[in-house]
């Protein structure tokens, strides 16, 4: 059920829990596990994402730890740290072009503006996409269908 809860972090209610997606990529099959949970006394939401890239025997993995919560001015923000040593931060946004109840975050990256968006799947689970901003709009380069674990 895709229903937001109360309070500033209430928009994360539909995402809480563990999720899994499988997809094909240029690097072979990809499996991603995402876990969203309240941390630090419920003041933040933590995302832990673990990716298995290629055949399991390849040993290729990618990880992310991300915190979502209020920034210095009270705006909902995120701070992401990844296993390749990169980090990013950004803010809550909207994506009505994707879905009216989408949960969206944007960030200014070295290559330009990017956004990640979560929204309900019409049958089960949720969809997640990453897009880059272009002069013509948003260019999607990753989309996964997550199902509850």
Which pLDDT does position 102 carry in this prediction? 97
**Count of domains in the chain?**
1
Which pLDDT does position 59 carry in this prediction? 85
Question: Does any domain span residue 115?
Answer: yes
Question: Does any domain span residue 79?
Answer: yes
Question: Does any domain span residue 15?
Answer: yes
Residue 40: partners with Cβ closer than 8 Å, 6 or more residues away: none
Quick one: average pLDDT of 121-131? 96
Question: Does any domain span residue 3?
Answer: no
- Decide if 137 contacts 127 (C-beta within 8 A): no
Question: Does any domain span residue 1?
Answer: no
Question: Does any domain span residue 53?
Answer: yes
Question: Does any domain span residue 38?
Answer: yes
Distance CA 102, CA 19 (A): 17
15-52: pLDDT as tens digits:
999 999 999 888 889 999 999 999 999 999 999 999 99
Give how far Cα 68 sits from Cα of 3, 88, 97, 128, 129, Å: 18, 12, 23, 16, 17
Which pLDDT does position 58 carry in this prediction? 85
Q: Which domain holds residue 87?
A: 8-148
pTM of the predicted model as reported, rounded to 2 decimal places: 0.94
Which pLDDT does position 20 carry in this prediction? 98
Distance CA 67, CA 78 (A): 6
77-125: pLDDT as tens digits:
999 999 999 999 999 999 999 999 999 999 999 999 999 999 999 999 9
Question: Does any domain span residue 2?
Answer: no
Pick the more confident residue, 1 or 88: 88
**CATH code for position 110:** 2.40.128.20
């Amino acid at each position: 059920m895709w229903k937001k809860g109360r309070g500033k972090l209430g928009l994360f209610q539909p995402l809480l829990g563990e999720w899994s997606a499988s997809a094909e990529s240029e690097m072979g099959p990809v499996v991603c596990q995402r876990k969203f949970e309240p941390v630090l006394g419920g003041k933040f939401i933590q995302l832990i994402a673990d990716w298995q890239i290629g055949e399991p025997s390849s040993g290729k993995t990618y990880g992310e730890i991300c915190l979502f919560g209020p920034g210095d001015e009270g705006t909902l923000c995120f701070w992401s740290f990844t296993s390749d040593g990169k980090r990013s931060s950004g803010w809550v946004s909207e994506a009505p072009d994707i879905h009216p109840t989408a949960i969206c975050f944007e960030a200014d990256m070295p290559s330009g503006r990017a956004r990640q968006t979560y929204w309900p799947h019409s049958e089960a689970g949720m969809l997640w996409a990453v897009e880059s901003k272009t002069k013509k709009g948003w260019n999607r380069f990753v989309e996964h269908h997550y199902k509850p674990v």
